[in-house]
Amino acid sequence: MNEYIIENVRDFNPEHIFDCGQCFRWNRQPDGAYTGTAMGKTVTVRLDCVESGRIDKGRLIIENATEEDYEKIWRSYFDMDRDYGLIKEELSREDPVMKEAVKRGSGIRILKQDLWETIVSFIISQNNNIPRIKGCIEKLAALAGERLEDYRGEAVYGLPSVEKLASMEAEDLAPVRLGYRAPYLIKTARMVKERGLPESYEQIAALCGVGPKVANCISLFGLHNLSSFPVDVWVRRVMSEMYGFDEKDVKGMAKFADERFGDLGGIAQQYLFYYIRLTKGE
């Protein structure tokens, strides 16, 4: 299978990127590479470190991709043209907590994911755990998604389109075991079919099954609004432990994030999320 290789890649660690909670279709392989399906393609991503001990500088290998794929899809998807080194410096300045979080998740990048797939994924994610979210998404793709090119001899499916999902009934999704999220998904698909894809936080938050947390995730990961700061249980945990907030004071946390991190709130959230999950297990 053909590979595309990018030399001298900085601030890129597959483990950090795919395990900081922003995506659900990338899976770790025994050798530490990650295989995933995005933008209609399935690839395996690996980072070879050129200088020993320098995990944040190396050779990025994308298996099953051409140069054209890279230029058209992966350069943007992996946000390759943004200088995360600069962002990390800025976030770490005068914030010891963030400095440590940035150190632990030094190779995090915010993926530019497909908006509709982000909507579907994060509606499924609510009040749910990550292994089950991943399972639901795979089952949903296999049930109602378009078949993509096989990968390593296995069938691969994309997530169902707006039209497909809008044409289905909640009962049709029973095999996916979405529970009460199934009707949310169908309703949202019909709303999007009617109104088009959302373009602002307000339009996102108007969708069915989308509250403030999910809306911020969609805004951050689907629209790449880097100021969006999703507050979930893990962020509440890290904000109370590290910054002394009351666990229930979500508004206070959001205000703090806006004032301290500003336009970089979403990136800061990812470092914090990865950091607390690293220390608190799971």
Partner DNA sequence: TCGCAGGTGGTCG
Partner DNA sequence: CGACCACCTGCG
- Known catalytic residues are 213
CB 280, min distance to DNA, A:
9
Interface pick for DNA out of 60, 191, 210, 238 (rule CB under 7 A): 210
CB 89, min distance to DNA, A:
24
Interface pick for DNA out of 27, 76, 92, 126 (rule CB under 7 A): 126
**129 interacts with DNA by CB under 7 A:** yes
Size of the site for DNA (CB under 7 A): 37
Judged by beta carbon, residue 137 or residue 156, the one nearer DNA is 137
Quick one: which segment of 78-86, 97-105, 143-151, 207-215 binds DNA (CB under 7 A)? 207-215
Judged by beta carbon, residue 97 or residue 179, the one nearer DNA is 179
CB 230, min distance to DNA, A:
4
Interface pick for DNA out of 127, 171, 244, 259 (rule CB under 7 A): 127
CB 228, min distance to DNA, A:
10
- Rounded to whole angstroms, the Cα distance separating 201 from 34 reads 31
CB 137, min distance to DNA, A:
12
Beta bridge partners of 3: 63
Footprint on residues 173-202 left by DNA (CB under 7 A): 174, 177-181, 184
**27 interacts with DNA by CB under 7 A:** no
Quick one: which segment of 31-39, 61-69, 102-110, 232-240 binds DNA (CB under 7 A)? 232-240
**52 interacts with DNA by CB under 7 A:** no
Instruction: Kindly write down the DSSP assignment for every residue of the chain, as one continuous string.
Output: --EEEEEEEES--HHHHHTSSS-SSEEE-TTS-EEEEETTEEEEEEEEESSTT-TTEEEEEEET--HHHIIIIIHHHTTTTS-HHHHHHHHHTT-HHHHHHHHHTTT-------HHHHHHHHHHHTT--HHHHHHHHHHHHHHHSPEEEEETTEEEEPPPPHHHHHTS-GGGGGGG--TTHHHHHHHHHHHHHHH-S--SHHHHHTSTT--HHHHHHIIIIIS--TT-----HHHHHHHHHHH---TT-HHHHHHHHHHHHGGGHHHHHHHHHHHHHHHS--
Residue 94: how many CB atoms within 10 A of its CB? 8
Quick one: which segment of 129-137, 144-152, 159-167, 190-198 binds DNA (CB under 7 A)? 129-137
Cα atoms in the Cβ-side hemisphere of radius 13 Å centred on 149: 12
Tokens 């500003």 belong to 262
Interface pick for DNA out of 27, 128, 161, 225 (rule CB under 7 A): 128
CB 138, min distance to DNA, A:
13
- Summarize as ranges the residues that interact with DNA (CB under 7 A): 20-22, 125-133, 174, 177-181, 184, 207-215, 217, 230, 232-234, 248, 269, 273, 282
